[in-house]
Chains A and B, each alone.
Chain A
């Protein structure tokens, strides 16, 4: 299943947040979205996930999601959004309980996703007992358990320290290599964008418009930290973003 945005605009009251954004998220690829603070990245993701309705334009899903997908458009949240009163396994179970699955099937899915995110030993732990990185792995496990067609990730690693972030980034890459998933990945971190993205969308300052689309041809498996091509892409993105960010600053001064 692909996701397509056609001339999407959005506003909160008189604040225009997104303006004429058209995008395609092809099946099996990761599209990263970068842009200055407050340019509407999170809003874009909420529109894609059906949590909000765009004021203008359309958000389309192209083709049917795979039959086994329980929740085609699935979020991974920056603040993890785990229920503190449920254990790790309970948090994953939460999103399966409303589906017609036998108890055995449910247990099997939970065991499988916890194994894939290396959380098996923590199945009975409560969120407060986990480190930030582990909490986000629970978020990832929960998302995987519903077999999403598209994963919508809003700065999933930005609440974590840089070492943990590096490790989880590796986790995401290896998850993708094993079974390629489709994802929209919002981030402030350009390293993450060039490590994960098949395409990077650069948004302008508010109202967010598509400023540039940068395709990164290096296959995910071959992307090493310090790779020259990736570094060139990162520089290019930084150049684009710096112009935008300083434009935002000037705007604030004028106001």
Chain B
């Protein structure tokens, strides 16, 4: 019998909600807010004299250093070579990594031969090999490209063949059942299917590339953000050190945003 006021019936209460969560929602304000909060705290500390400029420069001082760098034109002197090294090295490494990863994913022989090799290369701290690259490719740009390329190569290999392995076999059978050419199956079924994994591999690889960029520039470079940071560090000029670090982290943020945009465009079908 339906009760006129079911809520008041003995013991009736809403079923407790247990769903939700596990699904990142875009919360546009939280990221910037955390940054601003931290910077404000540091600035206040510096102004109040709690934080000595010898241990931590005030954010405003760092900003001023950056502004000077820009007006003197030296910002571009450092930024342009760094970005060029990053672009060349990471592109070479990523392309080679995708190609090798694809080969491993497609051919049993390549898998048997290359997977142990990649597993052996992956954990090597690539920075340790910089002297070797200097011997092989010279002290100039070549060794820097090589270091960055090598660093991006291994994670891209692993991400790509993982992505290829995860492609739904039923879709490949479908392609075969319609007599698609081998190359069509690779480019129209396997590569798009592996693309999500490749793009998330690219996120990891780009972070590694920035780390290696700095390492390479610290060892042997006149210009570049890494050289700038090294010089500032050896003089214990914290304001310039932090200005350089800010540039590096901005580079990371921008690269990440670019990859995010690529994901939104290329993976639109995921909705």
Contact = CB atoms under 8 A, between A and B. Distances in A.
Contacts of A81: 170-171, 173-174
A26 B195 CA distance: 44
Contacts of A86: 269
A85 interface: yes
Interface stretch (B37-45, B135-143, B176-184, B218-226): B176-184
A230 interface: no
Consensus secondary structure, chain B interface? helix
A16 interface: no
Contacts, number: 52
A71 B270 contact: no
Interface string A61-86: 00000000001011101010101111
Interface string A179-201: 00000000000000000000000
Interface size grouping (class) on chain B = 20 to 34
Interface residues of A, number: 22
Contact of B180 (A49, A74, A95): A95
B178 to A, nearest CB: 4
B192 A71 contact: no
Nearest to B183: A98
B170 A85 contact: no
B42 to A, nearest CB: 46
Interface string A95-110: 1011000000000000
A128 interface: yes
Smallest CB-CB A-B distances: 4 pairs: A81-B174, A95-B178, A85-B269, A75-B177
Interface of B: 170-171, 173-181, 184, 188-189, 192-193, 195, 267, 269-271
30 contacts: A51-B173, A51-B176, A71-B177, A71-B179, A74-B177, A74-B178, A75-B174, A75-B177, A77-B170, A77-B174, A81-B174, A83-B171, A83-B189, A84-B269, A84-B270, A85-B192, A85-B193, A85-B195, A86-B269, A94-B175, A94-B180, A95-B178, A95-B180, A98-B184, A126-B271, A128-B270, A128-B271, A129-B271, A142-B178, A146-B178
